[in-house]
Amino acid sequence: MRVACIGECMIELSEQFDGSLVRGFGGDTLNTALYLARLGVAVDYVTALGDDAWSDEMAAAWGREGIGLGQVRRLPGRMPGLYIIRTDAAGERSFHYWRDQAAARDLFVEPGAAETRAAVATYDLVYVSGISLSLYGESGRAALFETLGALRARGGRVAFDTNYRPRGWPVREVAQAAFRTALALADLIFASVEDLDWLFGAAGVDEVLRHRGRAEIVLKGSTGPAPVARVLHGTSDTWVPAGPVARVVDTTAAGDSFAAGYLAARLAGLDPEAAAARAHRLAGAVIGHRGAVIPRAAMPDLDRPGAHS
């Protein structure tokens, strides 16, 4: 099974309570690729980096995590984007970006775009997000959608995570059109009820549910303080609540790690409900630590007894 995640990794500065900054790296689909690799899935990351020292450092770190680098294009004279995370006392985070000239934005711009598109179309499963869509201009998104269509035509599958960030979309109607196209191409949809409300308003959930029966859908929301996943596949419609979480320190990468946990479980042959339970466990561990990437020692044992319930 050949798996790829498409998107952008940026230099991450995480603001601490004393005002100091800790440097790392992160990006939604990169986080998912990293957790997939830690869960034993062979996964490549498809992106563009520059030829600077930070790009070298990123690629080396991905390689140490076991992420495949064969589809990482390097663009001379370019650099990665930058973002700062601020986290409030309740663990909720806000993001502040400097990314207009980031190398990843030109992934589907020649020279090199044809080779990237041809390679992407050969994977068995490709994961993209709403943030991935926001990186590219109209022609870049069209190239991506055409590539995903070619992948599906040869029997590959597409997983799409809504992950909507309003700041990435100056025109809401453009975002709505792009998301509708991505939803129609997706075989597996991860959708946040909050994202859908922001993007489509009161009819947001309906935009996703129109694909039930055709696509496997995981709708993420909450009932009171507890996260819950509504899992729809075939004629089944099941609510899978998260277990108790000891503490919430930082919700960065909660959704990214959930997607990784779910995809890894499904690729291993687990049913969707069991996959959602595993995904909740991984996300619960991630939000107990600062930053998008938790220490390896903090990774939960998803195979231990009780992990599926």
Catalytic residue numbers? 256
Between CA 50 and CA 56 the distance in angstroms is: 8
Ramachandran area for residue 201 (φ above 0: left; ψ -120 to 50: alpha; else beta): left
State how beta strands 82-87 and 93-98 pair.
antiparallel
The answer to whether the Cα torsion of 295, 28, 6, 159 is positive or negative is positive
- Beta strands (DSSP E) in the chain are 3-6, 10-15, 21-26, 43-49, 72-74, 82-87, 93-98, 125-129, 157-161, 188-192, 216-223, 226-233, 236-241
Q: Which amino acid is at 262?
A: Y
Spatial separation of the C-alpha atoms in residues 35 and 70, rounded to whole Å: 18
Three-state secondary structure call for residue 143: helix
First to last CA, the chain: 27
On whether the CB atoms of residues 1 and 43 are closer than 8 A, the answer is no
111 phi, psi to nearest 5 deg: -80, 150
CA distances from 9 to 34, 79, 244 (A): 11, 11, 31
